[in-house]
Amino acid sequence: MDEAPIPIRVTVNGAPQEIPPALTIDGLLSRFGLDRRHTAVERNRLLVPRASFEATVVEDGDVLEIVTLVGGG
């Protein structure tokens, strides 16, 4: 019998989140319904280059920042 996968706990933009295991950055962006254009991601204080979104798997305890460009001086 299949068991439901145990979710992992991560922090996204300062807030705790439970997400399915083995999710990639790309999968995470889709889960939150986020546009890839002008979006950048940092994992544990290190930039995740756009080209690595699909290859980077989010792990339990990760601290993620997802940012975009807004009005500023």
In 3-state terms, what secondary structure has residue 19? strand
Print the binding letters for residues 43-72 with another protein: x by CB under 8 A, - otherwise. --x-x-xx--------------xxxxxxxx
Which of 2, 5, 6, 14 touches another protein by CB under 8 A?
Answer: 14
- Residue 64's nearest CA partner among 43, 50, 37, 46 is 43
- Decide: is 5 part of the binding site for another protein (CB under 8 A): no
Strand partners, 48: 41
Residues that bind another protein (CB under 8 A): 12-15, 32, 34-35, 37-42, 45, 47, 49-50, 65-73
